[in-house]
Structures are given as structure tokens and as C-alpha cells.
Chain A
Amino acid sequence: MKAIEAKIVVLGSQGVGKTSLVAKYISNIYSKEIGPTIGASFFTCKINLNNVKVKMQLWDTAGQERFKAMAPMYYRNANAALLVFDVTNYTTFSEVKSWILELQKNVQEPMFLLLVGNKIDLEQERAVSREEAIIYAQSIGAQFLETSVVKDQGIEQVFISIGLGLINLSSESKCSSMKRYESKDSLLSTHSSMSNLSGIQYYDGVHMAIDISQSVEANGIGRIEVGPWERDAVAHGYPQKSGWCC
């Protein structure tokens, strides 16, 4: 069986539901108490699609501004980006746009992009229309899906379309950083197996990679507060002893 191994970065503003989405898919848990992500969390999962095993390594990043400086560490080698916004909060949609600009500026390798509008269970409070999101997704060559973690809607589709996107990307050999190999594992041992694709609704055809030709504009967002995590700010410690525990 063919297998590919790919890195996926999950980006989006704080509180849009990135961690909820990933945790719901991977461990089928939903908890209000997970709390904001600090730094980043790393998840792995496997999915079988069209007789290809896709091994995903997901970086769920923190939406807090102070961790923004860490983001390049995660998107640098990513093969796909999952850009999440909250359909009830227009600002989070605008912030997705600035993430796209940053990716376009800094990532050379082709990348599969999936835009996700989460929290559609709160339809009454919707602030980002489906049409606007679709048009934007098309303009950047991304796919678009809507989800609700609370009502378990569209979660699996997110991962299936990432999987399919990655398979496409690898078959077109556009992506040199993705691992391809023959897997000896049986189908049974894998995490999730695709049985039917018919239930999925796509709002857009598959587009590959970021259109680098697109002009990059300043994002118009004010000073970004980054954390103290620059390279030269590393702890040194002092060799000393008294009063120290271990």
C-alpha cells in the first residue's frame, strides 16, 4: 500500500476552536475546559483514502498574539495549512487573511490550503457569510468547509479533504518535502478508514499550492506583540548550589 507522510499546520485566531476541532477528530473528545493553547501542540493521525495511507503530523498552534513569533517554526516545512476562523466573529476571518499573506511571503514550497469556518451551530450569530468565505477561498486557491465541533458537523470532512489534497499534491510531485513510501501496515491497524466520500460537500474544486504571483500587501494590522522567544533570549542558568532542590 502506498503511504505518504505530511506536516500540517493549524492556524487561526485565539478561541476559534482549533484545538477543539483537532481533539474532536483525533480523540473524539470535546471539552469546554481545554483552555487556550500555550506554545503549540503536536498530534499525529492516520487516514486511508483511495488506497493511500496518509500519515498526518499536525501542529496545533496558539492563537494568542504573543506566540505569533513561533509560527514560522511550524509552517516552514508544512505541506498543508488548516486556516480556522469563527463564523460568528468577523475579525477572526480578517486575521486568517493576514495569515495567508504571511504564508505567501514566507513559504516557497506548494502547500494545500483549507479554510474552515467553525461554530456554525451558532447560526443566529453568524458574522461571516458563506458566500464571502467561498469567494475569498477561491481567490487564494484554497478549499472551504464549515464545521461545528459542538454538533460534530463536518469534522471528518476536514481531515478527508486534507488527506485528498495531500495525495494530490504528492502525485503531482509538486512537493519535495513530503515523504512517500510503501507501507506494510494492514488497513486494519490504521486510525480511520474512508468508506464513503459521497456525503461530503465541497464548496470549491481542489486547488493546489499558494499562488505566489499574487501581490503581497501590508496587512494593515498594528504592532504585533511577540513573546520573548527570539533565539538570543535563551536561558543560561548559573552553576550554583545552595538552596537548590535537585
Chain B
Amino acid sequence: MSDISNFSDEEDSRQDDCALVDALSEINFNEHNIDSIRQNKLEESQEQKHEIHSDPASSSSLNFVDVDEYDYLHDSEWINQKCHVFILSTAGKPIYNLHGDEEKLNTLFGLLQALVSVVQTDDDCIRSITAKNTKFVFLVKSPLILVGVNKSNRSEQQIYNQLMDVYNQIIFIVTLSHMKSVYEKRNNYDLRKLVAGSERWVDHLLRNEKRTRICNSSFVSLTHSVRILPMESSIRDSITSTIQSNCNKIKNLVFAVLLANNKLITLVRMKNYYMHTDDLRLIFNVIDCSESFKSAENWLPICLPKFDSNGALYAHISYISDDCEACLLLMTVDQESFPILSNAKKNITEKLRRGNYIEAINTGMKDKGIKLKSDIGVSEIRHFFYKNKKNTQLLCSEITAPYIDNLDQFEKLEAMYYDLHNRIHRTSRPLKLIYEMHQHEIQLAWVTANYELYATFEPLVDKKSVIIAQVNKLLKWIRKEEDKLFMTGTHIF
């Protein structure tokens, strides 16, 4: 694997192009690259602080426990799930599990708790266990313990990030201070009572682990970013100012968010307060899995963990209209302001209709991602995603053949991207560029100061010059369309 240390990441487009040429010319495309990666992986895993080495012969990670107690250990379907997520309290009370019936998993929960507390007695904290092809990753955030068990090629960090998202989703529901106070009062408290009704939010967050549809959503969580609904910047500005003008005078309103199809249309905020992408992703997740929000105006307390994990905001959540499935969230700290927000929403809808913006939103909603061939005219790139690092916004291309009609193929692609992402961001040895030939495709990952690009090419493009030309064409197009594809600037009430 080439580590290109003299690689420059200038903003200027021409320099970017040259840089790619330089970078690619330094890479030898051969099998050795792959070997050295494996080597790296080995080295890294040996560095892990709490690697618990298990005998490879007895790799089934749980066989040191009395097997008779487990129904699930005889359930090969359960055992072979690619990903498990368990949440328990530090006292060992089960709170959530992704697969299976938690009644029957009591002993397993007890075991997980024991593992955590054994390491804690040494004033230390367990991070992960690797057993053959299975990783156990722990996120210990008292009063909660989260454990991810993963058989895919996800890195420890990636599994950890996923657990962090799940943890934040729990905080979103119950707030950290409230959770701490219930556990202070009663150590063996059953948190499921407080999460009741919202488990589906956690399920939905992990939906990519039980995939039924092929879409770009896992790249959003991989890159910790949000997608933007494409539209002319002048239209977006008008929509934004419609919201601003109707909300300017509302006291205590902190955020207004308009989104559609899991993509952001616009966001207006109170001066000096900011919306973190992680919070925004939780909002997207909740809206995406709550069908019932569509038929009414909803009023619910939520906690944005990055904004303030110890306090709740009240959210007025409603869809714009029957003919427009864009969802508007108005978030306030004033419990009494429902009527005012309800009224503001009515006025916003009316103005959007009069300005024909509903139509513009509906057009944008048809977008399934950038069309590489018809939008840009690059024929050798099969798929890409591009993260704008300044504003953590993500651009994805439409998923097409051979990935769109084959779940296996898509999952392989996804796994390759996760692997690329992991290697390029590895803390011990971060890279700037990876170029790799696989059996069925070529992949590129490129990290600069301003963006990250991950792309997959047709396998037969073996000429570097073709790849370079295609990537440059893509980047040029993105730059040209930037105003439409990304949300630039910030808007305050």
C-alpha cells in the first residue's frame, strides 16, 4: 500500500487534478498492496490495548459458558447473524437486543456485564475482544453498556461508532440526566419502561444490519454526514426565508429543520446555537421510521445529545401537506408554544404553496442520487460518494447495476467501502489515497482537506489516465453544481 506523504491537497481545482496524477503515478498496482494491508491489519490488532486472545481452535466465543442454558447457542441462524447489538445497564439488566428474544438471553447479558466488570476491577475498561472472525466491541458509558458483535469486516472503530449512534438515540429518547437520576434512585431499574414505544427508533438505526432495501443510507452513517435535497440555490434561499420570516418573532424557538426523503432541504437556527450532524442524523432516523407523523401535527419532547444531553426540547413535527411529503420540525424550549408553532407551520405551508415551492420540493424528492451517465457523462464510474468536509454534507450517486438488483453484490460493495474507509482513516497510519484493483471492480478513496471521495470503477479500466480523467470530470462537475447539491451558508432566525 502506498502512503503518499508528499501528496498535496490544494483547494484549487487544477492543483487537485495534478495531485491525483502524481499520487496515482506513485502507486504500483499489484497484489503486494493487498498483502501489506493484511500485514497492517495484523500489526494494528496486536496494538490493541485489551485484545483478549482466545484459542483459535475454540473460536466459538461463548463456549466457556454452560451451553445448556442457551437456546440461542443452538440456533445457528441467531449465531450466524452478521451483527448483534446488545444494550444493558451496568447492573446487568437487559435493555435492548437486535436479534432474538431477550427473555432467553438473560445469561448472555449477565456474561457481558461480567466481562465489563472484571476488567473494571483493574481500573481499566474493556474495549474489544477478537475471536477468529468475530469482533466484540464494548461501549461502556455508565449507567449503560453497549456491545456490538460483528462478523463482517467492520473495524473496531466503525462498530464503536455504530454503538455511539445507538447510545445517542437512547439519550434522544430519555435524556442523560434523567437516565442517571433513575439509576441513582434504583440501581436495578428497568430502562425498557422509559424507552418503551421508541425501540423501533433503535431498530431503524440498525436497519442496514437487517437489510431489505438497497440504498445509500449506510454511507451516510459511515461518513457521519447528512445528504442534501438537490435544488436551485435561489429556490432553497426562498424556502429558507419563508421559514425565517414566519418564525422570526417566535421566542424560544431554537431550530427549524425542513427535510424530505432523508435529505435536508434547509435549517434555520437561533443565533449562537448550532446543530450537530450527529443530532441531525438522529432526527432523520426518527422521521424516517415514524409513519404516523404523516397524518397529524405532533408534539413531543426530544433530546439532542450533542446539543444538550441533559435537557429536552419540544418538537413540533408535521408534514407540509398531503401533496408534499416534506417534514418540518420546529424545536423550542417552551412547552407552551404549540399553538404558535402550529400557526407558523400553517403560514409557512401557505407561502410555500403560493410560491410554487411545493412543486420544487416534490421534484427534488424524485432524485435518487446523481446519475453518472446522464448527469455528468462519466461512463466508467459505477458508483461514488463524496463528503464535503466543511459542512459534513454527503453526495451519493444513484445505485445502479450490478449492485441495484442484487443484495449480495451490494453488500460486498458496501463491505469494500467500509474497508477502504477504515484503512484511509486508520489513526495509526492515516492515508490520503488508496487505489485498488479487485476482481470485479476498481476502487479509489481520496481524502483531501476539503473533501473525501470514494468511488468504484468498471473493472476493465486499467489505464490510470482514464481513471484520472473520469475523476477530474466528476470533481469538476461537483464544483460547478455545488450551489445546487450542497447547502451553503448558515441561516439564523
- Interchain CB contact (< 8 A) of B277 among A31, A37, A231, A245: A245
B229 interfacial contact with A, CB 8 Å: no
A227 touches B297 (CB 8 A): no
- Interchain CB contact (< 8 A) of B197 among A14, A225, A243: A14
Q: For residue B297, which residue of chain A has the nearest CB?
A: A42
B300 touches A40 (CB 8 A): yes
A181 interfacial contact with B, CB 8 Å: no
Chain B positions within 8 Å of A229 at CB level = 301, 312, 335
B269 touches A246 (CB 8 A): yes
A246 with B342: in contact, given A66-B194, A227-B174, A236-B308 (CB under 8 Å)? no
A60 interfacial contact with B, CB 8 Å: yes
Q: What's the Cα separation between A206 and B291 when bound, in Å?
A: 37
Number of interface residues of B (CB under 8 A): 53
B289 to chain A, nearest CB (A): 8
B177 interfacial contact with A, CB 8 Å: yes
B273 touches A239 (CB 8 A): yes
- Complex interface: stretch among A21-29, A151-159, A189-197: A21-29
B291 touches A33 (CB 8 A): yes
B312 touches A35 (CB 8 A): no
Q: What's the Cα separation between A65 and B198 when bound, in Å?
A: 12
A38 with B197: in contact, given A231-B335, A239-B272 (CB under 8 Å)? yes
Q: What's the Cα separation between A243 and B225 when bound, in Å?
A: 11
Q: For residue B301, which residue of chain A has the nearest CB?
A: A229
A188 interfacial contact with B, CB 8 Å: no
Number of interface residues of A (CB under 8 A): 43
B311 touches A66 (CB 8 A): no
Chain A positions within 8 Å of B295 at CB level = 23, 26-27, 29, 41, 43
B300 touches A39 (CB 8 A): yes
A221 interfacial contact with B, CB 8 Å: no
A138 interfacial contact with B, CB 8 Å: no
A233 touches B178 (CB 8 A): yes
Which A186-210 residues have a C-beta within 8 angstroms of B?
A: none
B392 interfacial contact with A, CB 8 Å: yes
Interface centre among A23, A27, A231, A244 (most CB of B within 10 A): A244
A237 touches B308 (CB 8 A): yes
B296 interfacial contact with A, CB 8 Å: yes
A47 to chain B, nearest CB (A): 17
- Interchain CB contact (< 8 A) of A227 among B194, B277, B280, B291: B194
Which A162-183 residues have a C-beta within 8 angstroms of B?
A: none
B275 interfacial contact with A, CB 8 Å: yes
Q: What's the Cα separation between A169 and B20 when bound, in Å?
A: 77
B487 interfacial contact with A, CB 8 Å: yes
B174 touches A228 (CB 8 A): yes
Which B368-390 residues have a C-beta within 8 angstroms of A?
A: none
B254 interfacial contact with A, CB 8 Å: yes
Q: B398-435: contact bitstring with A at CB < 8 Å (1 yes, 0 no)?
A: 00000000000000000000000000000000000000
A34 touches B291 (CB 8 A): yes
B303 interfacial contact with A, CB 8 Å: yes
Q: What's the Cα separation between A43 and B487 when bound, in Å?
A: 33
A173 to chain B, nearest CB (A): 25
Q: B12-24: contact bitstring with A at CB < 8 Å (1 yes, 0 no)?
A: 0000000000000
Q: What's the Cα separation between A30 and B492 when bound, in Å?
A: 40
B319 to chain A, nearest CB (A): 12
Interface centre among B179, B291, B311, B391 (most CB of A within 10 A): B311
B174 touches A235 (CB 8 A): no
Chain A positions within 8 Å of B200 at CB level = 35
A64 with B276: in contact, given A42-B299, A227-B174, A228-B312 (CB under 8 Å)? no
Q: What's the Cα separation between A125 and B194 when bound, in Å?
A: 29
A244 with B277: in contact, given A39-B300, A40-B298, A228-B175 (CB under 8 Å)? yes
Give chain B's interface residues, CB within 8 Å of chain A.
174-175, 177-179, 182, 193-194, 196-198, 200, 226, 254, 264, 267, 269, 272-277, 280, 290-292, 295-301, 303-304, 306-308, 310-313, 315, 333, 335, 338, 342, 391-393, 487, 490
Beyond A43-B297, A233-B177, 14 extra complex contacts between A and B, CB < 8 Å: A23-B292, A27-B295, A34-B291, A37-B197, A40-B298, A40-B299, A41-B299, A62-B197, A225-B194, A241-B274, A243-B277, A243-B392, A244-B306, A245-B274
Subset of 27 A-B contacts with CB under 8 Å = A23-B296, A26-B295, A36-B196, A38-B290, A38-B298, A38-B300, A39-B301, A40-B298, A228-B301, A229-B312, A231-B335, A233-B311, A233-B312, A234-B312, A235-B308, A235-B310, A236-B308, A237-B307, A237-B308, A243-B276, A244-B275, A245-B275, A245-B277, A245-B391, A246-B269, A246-B280, A246-B487
